[in-house]
Structure 1
Amino acid sequence: MNRKHFLSSFIATATMLPALKIFKNDFNGENSNVKVPPYLKSGDTIGITSPAGFITEAQVQPSILQMQSWGFNIKVGSTIGKRDFTYGGSDEERMADFQNMLDDPKINAIMCARGGYGFVRIIDKLDFTAFKRNPKWLIGFSDITVLHSHLAKNFGVASIHSKMCNSFPDDWTKAEPIQIETILSIKNALTGQELKYIAPINIYNRFGKANGLLIGGNLSIIETLAGSNSDLDTSGKILFVEDTGEYLYSLDRMFWNLKRSGKLKNLKGLIVGGFKVKPDDIGEEFGKTIYDIVLEKVKEYNYPISFDFPVGHQRNNFAYKCGTNHKFEVNENGSFLETL
């Protein structure tokens, strides 16, 4: 798919939202208040850990230097540089490192170093007791969708869906504008700036307006979480999805899963991000595009839909605050999403 026409913009405000004062131990779904962790200020600490795939110490250095330039302190976790086949250490090592950062009161946010695969292997072993008392920003995407979904399902705590350490440019002075914008969007999200994103007109879009909590992430991960303690409740929400390296027939199956499980029925809006599709095998052509696949599943519903939004496994992958209220509008001028 051609994504070169994506547009993006940020609107920054100087007003910081207040730190979270009350946090209930139980989350009662969409009727509960959103719990927004305290926004970061200069001198706060971001922990870096690798709860999924492995990453080297050298690979995280650009992100460390950049986040330090923003005024933050960095604490590198014990999983950085570790490797257990495809993982950033054994299940026990990855769980312990993430748990330490959840429990450490001196850490104000946790950035996952990369995705890959592995978070689902440790999510049920983590103890969120300390986190519930003092929530902090948890950051990542792709496989980290497991974490975003788990927080939304169980605690109603906001989190940040964004690029991770492995996406920071090695040389900031030589980075493309879109790389700089997407990385700076992480800072904006962490510090409580207003976020606004714009996508150009797409002939398959469906016009409309909606306000609601933003949830979502990687489509294949969302599908695999169905029926688990991390399953997403999409009712009354704005859902965004993205994926990479999947055949069209696999994507069709995933969207059927969303439809048959009721996840598409009561949405406020649907945002379809980047989908890097694996070419069909010769003689096994599926015959439908991603647009066909989605529109077939939502034809009986009436809510705004935007395609090719700047989120996913691509350079124009901006930071989104999951679990917070957003305004979403699709019209003849394009698609617009902004924090409320």
Structure 2
Amino acid sequence: MSGIPFPLEQRFKRQCPCYNMEKERVIVVSTIYPSALTLNSTFAITAPSSGVPAPLHYKIHKAKSQLEMLCAHVIIGETVWTQQAARSSSAETRANELMAYLTDPAIDAIMPPWGGELLVQVLPKLDWDKISKSKPTWLIGYSDSSTLLCSYTLQTNIASAHATNFFDLNMEALDGTTKQWHKILSAPSRNHVVQHSSPMYQSSWDALFELENPVGFDLDSNTEWKSTTSEAVSFTGRLIGGCLNTLTTIAGTKYAPIKKWRESFEEDTIVYLEWLDWCTAETYRNLWHLKEHGWFEGASGLLFGRPSRSEPSEDYDDVQMIHEFAEEIGLPIIFDADIGHMPPQFTMINGSLATASFKDGKGTLTYLE
């Protein structure tokens, strides 16, 4: 969709036997979509989490050149070029640069160079009221960037795009799954746009970082989606999610009002998550944390990406944990999907209505608006 769909306010009756019309009034709204990307679009690159160390600056220049083939202007912020103490710069500097881009009507999309560790420091320093009243802007990225994306959508109802990072664009021959991000965000309407599971994925970043100028991801393993059901499964809902490592930090805070956001829609949700560098027990604890904060209430199903550098806790592994967690919450889970730190990955639009489907080791994500 292009433009901004106007909010629709009405009452509706939820399909629930405990519904009480005298007590409940729900405002039904439409997700606000930034305008479709075009060849005249302007991108701003800023580092609200980690910046890029000097030895890798040449890759930022390459990524800029690659992106300029798809748009009119690419602006590189000052925060991109610095990195110290696990962040690009002070929280104030990062917030100020991000705010300048988010409230500039000339900016159509914002991409961090990559993720990091401390984006959460920026959230309290943003003027969220001003952001919500500004022109909707595409926020694009993953990893710690999903902390910003998810909070942006939950607080403003503006769609955001969990997809490849700007840094990855330095590679000249990206695979078909990764390259879909621009096609999807350029579409006047995404209704019936389908993403298919990739044929191969990258199991480790080690080989890629040994190369000075790789042309694409090191796709060395066969992709196989899985499910907690014994047969084909599909479920429909509004997408919300990101990196579990960072989203668990904002769950239960004012920066992630998921209950208020969820209740503004008639549809169910699909919560998608991915994680890295955790043992199985730690992953479970963080999923439990989200459950206790209501993240899976009103969901039709969950979609998990491939865990990166995950280790079992004694004889307790991720597969067992995921199956048990599906029973615990009473929802189907599709896992090992193309999401997150083991590329390639789908473009997941927070706030958008979609259907996730699984059958025989393969999967699709179909947008419905």
The TM-score range, normalised by the shorter chain, is: 0.7 to 0.9
Aligned equivalents of 2:183 and 2:254: distance in 1?
Answer: 31
Specify the alignment match of 1:11 in structure 2.
Answer: none
Q: Residues 58-112 of structure 1: CA distance to partner in whole angstroms, max 9, x if unpaired?
A: 2312221111111331111121212332211221211111111012111111111
Specify the alignment match of 1:78 in structure 2.
Answer: 78
Moved more, 329-338 or 314-323: 329-338
Aligned equivalents of 1:330 and 1:111: distance in 2?
Answer: 30
Is the 1:255–1:293 contact (alpha carbons within 8 Å) kept by the matching residues of 2?
A: no
1:258 CA displacement: 2.7
1:43 CA displacement: 1.4
Among 44, 48, 52, the residue aligned to 1:51: 48
Q: For 1:1-340, what aligned pairs fall within 5 Å after superposition?
A: 17-20=1-4, 22=6, 31-55=28-52, 56=54, 57-128=57-128, 129-170=130-171, 172=172, 175=173, 179-192=174-187, 194=190, 195-199=193-197, 200=224, 202=226, 204-205=228-229, 207-231=232-256, 233=258, 236-279=268-311, 285-332=313-360, 334-340=362-368
Counterpart of 1:230, as a letter, is Y
**Could you say what secondary structure the match of 2:308 adopts?**
strand
Q: Residues 127-168 of structure 1: CA distance to partner in whole angstroms, max 9, x if unpaired?
A: 241553311101111111211221232111100101112222
Aligned equivalents of 2:28 and 2:320: distance in 1?
Answer: 34
Is the 2:226–2:361 contact (alpha carbons within 8 Å) kept by the matching residues of 1?
A: no
Is the 1:305–1:330 contact (alpha carbons within 8 Å) kept by the matching residues of 2?
A: no
Aligned equivalents of 1:294 and 1:232: distance in 2?
Answer: 25
Change in CA separation of 1:131 and 1:180 when aligned onto 2, cut-off 3 Å = farther
TM-score (norm 2): 0.77
Across the two proteins, how many residue pairs are aligned to each other?
A: 311
**Could you say what secondary structure the match of 2:48 adopts?**
coil
Aligned equivalents of 2:59 and 2:225: distance in 1?
Answer: 37
Aligned equivalents of 1:256 and 1:110: distance in 2?
Answer: 32
**Could you say what secondary structure the match of 2:304 adopts?**
strand
Aligned equivalents of 2:79 and 2:349: distance in 1?
Answer: 26
1:120 CA displacement: 0.6
**Could you say what secondary structure the match of 2:194 adopts?**
strand
**Could you say what secondary structure the match of 2:307 adopts?**
strand
**Could you say what secondary structure the match of 1:69 adopts?**
coil
Q: Residues 253-297 of structure 1: CA distance to partner in whole angstroms, max 9, x if unpaired?
A: 1122233333234311110111013445xxxx4322212112212
Unaligned runs of 5+ in 2: 9-24, 198-223, 263-267
Change in CA separation of 1:44 and 1:303 when aligned onto 2, cut-off 3 Å = same
Is the 1:249–1:286 contact (alpha carbons within 8 Å) kept by the matching residues of 2?
A: no
Aligned-pair Cα RMSD in Å: 2.5
TM-score (norm 1): 0.83
**Could you say what secondary structure the match of 2:240 adopts?**
strand
**Could you say what secondary structure the match of 2:81 adopts?**
coil
Aligned equivalents of 2:160 and 2:113: distance in 1?
Answer: 15
Is the 2:196–2:364 contact (alpha carbons within 8 Å) kept by the matching residues of 1?
A: yes
